[in-house]
Amino acid sequence: MGKVLTLIVQRLGLGLITLIAVSLIIFLGVELLPGDIATEILGKDAQPATVEAFRKELGLDKPPVTRYIQWVGATLSGDFGNSFANGRPISDLIGFRLQNTLFLALMTAAISVPLSLIAGVLAALYRNSFYDRAINIFTLTSISFPEFFIAYILIIVFGQQLGWFPTLSNVSAEMPFSQKLYLCALPALTMTLAVFAHMMRMTRAAILNLLASPYIEMANLKGLERSRIVTKHALPNAWAPIANVVALNMAYLVVSVVVVEVVFVFPGLGQLMVDSVIVRDVPVVQACSMIFAATYILMNLTADIISIVTNPRLLHPR
């Protein structure tokens, strides 16, 4: 147990170092964005003295190193500051939108994870069958298309031609849960198709790899049914790689939500970040980027810890 706790502490420390390095990349990337927030707000006809005074009020007259240190210190303490565009606290701006993004991600996970596990187990159970070939063709096709292309296809088919779902997902806090599920159907389906293929194929590969093990061959020699061999003997030992790939896909899911939110005009964190880039609202862009980066790093650390804890050879390398 002590080794596991030490491992977790080490991985969390490594994740914190990685997050600080990512924060530097985010800060430099935002600094290189074209345009100026002061000119964007005051207008191109504003006097240079007025623009300079406004930049000083926003703290943009300070050296980049000073601004970076102040920003990282405030972010680590949970203070994202105020928006340059409207002066509101950033925590208020991202609160509801972060809830929407997490709701969409959890809805997608609730659909994609069990669906991919069942499809992967069936593909391994009926290897080289028509179902196995069909599901592999489908997954290879879906994984070949970017999310925005899948989103537009779904909008054309299910939104415009069939009229089953709305093409825009304008959710609000006052909506009932059922209506929110209905409005999030197409975005969730888009993201499900984006992550389903990888999780399904990983599940299939893990099961097939275990089916070649000696103890599985012994179970076959005993005359056990193939379905029982897969569900009772192979699947429990395949949870480690499956859990790892699920955690990695959940990390990808949270980050890739930006593209989907923009296509469906979904009021989430990704849409807020894109809108803030357009108006050059630097603090909001930095805050959204840090939240996405922290989530991605945390999910990757979770996958790393799951892999090591569930594999004794990695936990005890000697």
pLDDT at 312: 57
Which domains are assigned to the chain? Answer: 91-279 (1.10.3720.10)
Q: What pLDDT sits at residue 313?
A: 57
Task: Provide the pLDDT for residue 42.
Answer: 67
Query: In this structure, what are the phi and psi dihedrals at residue 89, rounded to the nearest 5 degrees?
Result: -60, 135
Predicted local confidence at residue 302, as pLDDT: 78
pLDDT, residue 19, reads: 83
Q: How far apart are the first and last CA of the chain?
A: 17
Q: What is the pLDDT along the chain (318 residues), one digit of tens a residue?
A: 567 677 778 778 888 888 888 888 888 877 776 666 666 666 666 677 777 777 777 677 777 788 888 888 878 777 777 777 777 788 888 888 888 888 888 888 888 888 888 888 788 777 788 888 888 888 888 777 877 888 888 888 888 888 888 887 777 777 788 888 888 888 888 888 878 888 888 888 877 777 777 777 777 777 777 667 766 766 666 666 777 777 777 777 777 777 888 888 888 888 888 888 777 778 888 888 888 888 888 887 777 777 677 665 555 555
pLDDT for residue 100: 84
Please tell me the pTM assigned to this model.
0.76
